[in-house]
Amino acid sequence: MSKRAQWSLKRSDARWIVLDFQLDGASIESLGVDVTLQSDEEVVEDRRRLVEAVERTLAILSAGAAADSLEIEGLNFKEEAGRRGRGGVLLPGQERSEAVATQLANEVACLANTPSGGALIVGVADDGTAVGATSDRDWLRQRIHERVDIAPAMEERWLPDRTRLLVLLVAAAREPVENVSGNLRWRVGARCAPVDRSEWWQERLRRQGADPLASRSDRRAGDVSSDAFAALRRLIRATEGAGGDLLDLPQREFLTRVGVLLPDGHLTAAGVHLLLPAPRTVIELVALDVPGGDVTVTMPDLSGLSLVEQLADVEARLESLDRSVTLARGLRLGTVRQIPWLAVREAVLNAVVHRDWLPREPIHVSWVEEDASLDVVSPGGFAGGVTDATVLSARYSRNPALADFARALGLVERQGVGVDRMYREMVALGHRAPVIRQEPGPQVRTRLVGGRPLDAILAVTGAVEPASRRRDVRVSLAVHALLRDGFVGPNSLGELLQVPATEAAEALDVALESSIDGETLMVSGSGATLLPATVVSRRATSDPTALALAQRRGLLRWYRPGPEDAQRLVLAFLAEAARISSSDLAQITGLTQQGALQMLTRMANDGLLERGSAARGRHAHFVLSSSGDRS
């Protein structure tokens, strides 16, 4: 490797950027560059300083220094497994090698167990020779995640001679991470060494509560530009919420009030993260006319703008894409957007606040105009025990200091409420509930599909009293289940709320206290089920055109159902209540008592059901057949 390379290191807010700096046979000492990562005593180690150390080290490596002399605690060099033949001959590498995935998964686990996390530079031999890395980046990241449940930030880097390296950035884990062999190891000096769990937890407890974004930075209030403050004030005004009292404060008092300016005049890392220039685009937006169609809106390069400026720019463009819809006369809401703006804003802000900031990929926001759909994809998987099945009920913040900053500004609600609001806002208009799921990468996708609100649904949800219950996500989802399925019970509502059935039963008690036009919202059915009261059916079905549109979207199909819909309704009801009576079916469907009984009798004759008692008439009930065909 040539000792002469064109490099320059310029300090930025996030990392050292390679420019034009002359290195000509210089030693590490003569360069005066400290490649040591922060010590164990410093709990404020974060991505910025880790990347900073990597950039400095790569510059020194390009000058010809031996890699082994640069390895320190938290920084490691690796040559891909299987690259050496007899006599140390370098062999061609493979894009997808399971041996390499296992090798690097063990290294990632070791760095994750190290209190400060660390970085792994792949493609460098111990003698300082850059042999290159051939592994496919995305494939390797996924394979590492499968082995040790960590998906490190991973990026390609190119040396001046076009040698490709892979840089893996690994955050410190919140709990011990076993390697592929089931052992615990962490970095001690320049090597991985065994550690027992008690020692690991002692160190974890010593550092417990440390949030890198809550740490003190070397930047001050005067480093925040007027443009960043203007963008921040635009975002606060758009919330029309708790942050309004901040708008007239002087800059220093403003920053102190929201908790990002420390008494010594220094900004916290969260303040730097949100308010100072970012070296790259952090959030990007693209709009298409139809899926896979023409691009109608795209974003310019936003590097150099602060995160808050980038966020304000994306919000402004989304606001112009999310068109208003005029509701039918007589509905109280007047005009609404295709996707409720609260839901759009929460989806984007949740991605900013809760993403994994170690990967350098931007948050990707996409809008499809004809579908009125929004997808927000943020790097990093779920954390803190949150899963696809608990995202509505679990409460966890990956970045507590950043989340608290956003709450102080009034941009987001208290922890966990944002997801509730997304659900409530969507289902109240007849839209599908949000989809929030983890995908390979890992990454988290939030998907909202809107369009024209359903008048048949609004006729019910917009009339619930007391009005405060319209903002209660428990009541909103109970009404949603009622209008979707024709009934609601502890089990089905528990699935929607992502809580145990006992807790869902408490939510149903609250819903029972709500009313429409002075009449109760729901009436009791068999078992613990609640059925739509007459006033609900009347309001939801009074307009045939609105009813037909709702039924095409899968709602209200329980009203005067055909044979297939009736069968689906009965099977779903029996999954909740174990028995169904003709009175239940008549109350749900709007059929007469006799008509409902005839429908159940036909299902019994077809072998789907059987009578659960010898009773006749309104007291007759049916259960699933013990031997019939239920397909």
Q: Provide DSSP, 224-282.
A: S-HHHHHHHHHHHHHHTSGGGGGTTS-HHHHHHHTT-B-TTSEEEHHHHHHHSBPSS--
Residue pointed to by tokens 């649904």: 457
For domain 560-631, the question of CATH label 1.20.120.530 is answered with no
For residue 18, the SS3 value is: strand
Placement of tokens 């990454």 in the chain: 443
Look at residue 615 in the predicted model and tell me its pLDDT.
Answer: 59
Residues of the chain with CATH 1.10.10.2340: 454-556
3-class SS of residue 16: strand
Nearest to 59 by CA among 132, 10, 12: 10
- Cα distance between residue 410 and residue 501, in whole Å: 33
What stretch of H or E contains 447? strand 443-449
> In whole angstroms, what is the distance from residue 547 CA to residue 253 CA?
55
Q: Where in the chain do CATH 1.10.10.10 domains reside?
A: 560-631
Q: What is the CATH number of domain 4-210?
A: 3.30.950.30
Please, what CATH class does the domain formed by 454-556 belong to?
A: mainly alpha
Q: How far is residue 266 CA from its own chain's centroid?
A: 31
Q: What is the mean pLDDT of each run of 10 residues along the chain (631 residues)?
A: 31 28 28 32 52 77 62 75 85 90 94 87 81 91 89 88 89 84 84 77 61 79 89 81 71 82 84 89 92 88 91 92 77 77 91 84 93 93 80 78 78 69 89 90 91 88 86 88 90 87 86 87 86 89 90 90 89 88 89 87 86 66 71 47
Alpha helices in 447-543 (DSSP H): 455-461, 473-485, 490-497, 501-512, 534-541
Which long-range contacts link 24-32 to residues 24+ away (Cβ below 8 Å)?
25/63, 25/64, 26/63, 27/65, 28/60, 28/65, 28/69, 28/70, 31/60, 31/63
Write out the two tokens for 246: 């901040």
The SS3 call for residue 507 is helix
Count CB atoms within 10 A of the CB of residue 236. Answer: 20
Residue 43's pLDDT is 34
pLDDT at 434: 92
Do you find a cis peptide bond into 466, omega within 30 degrees of 0?
yes
CA distance 498 to 394: 9
Element (H, E) at 142: helix 137-148
> Where do runs of H (alpha helix) occur along 162-225?
197-207
Residue 23: partners with Cβ closer than 8 Å, 6 or more residues away: 3, 4, 5, 7, 31, 59, 60, 62, 63
Residue 537: CB atoms within 10 Å: 21
Report how far residue 477's alpha carbon sits from residue 387's, in angstroms, rounded to the nearest whole number: 20
d(CA 190, CA 66): 14
Tokens 């111990």, residue located: 126
Would you state the pLDDT for residue 339? Answer: 93
DSSP code string of 50-92 = HHHHHHHHHHHHHTT--HHHH-BTTEEEEPPTT-B-GGGPBPP
In whole angstroms, give the CA distance from residue 530 to residue 493: 11
What does the DSSP 8-state code read for residue 537?
H
Domain 213-426 CATH class label: alpha beta
- Matching residue, tokens 């689906």: 568
CA distance 49 to 608: 66
Angle between helix 473-485 and helix 490-497 axes, rounded to 10 deg = 120
How far is Cα 327 from Cα 453, in angstroms, rounded to an integer?
Answer: 8
Q: What is the pLDDT of residue 441?
A: 80
CA distances from 462 to 332, 459, 544, 598 (A): 7, 6, 19, 35
From 127, 111, 122, 109, select the one nearest 79 (Cα to Cα).
Answer: 122
Domain(s) of CATH 3.30.565.60: residues in the chain: 213-426
Residue ranges of the chain that CATH labels 3.30.950.30:
4-210
What is d(CA 529, CA 572) in angstroms, rounded to the nearest whole number?
Answer: 12
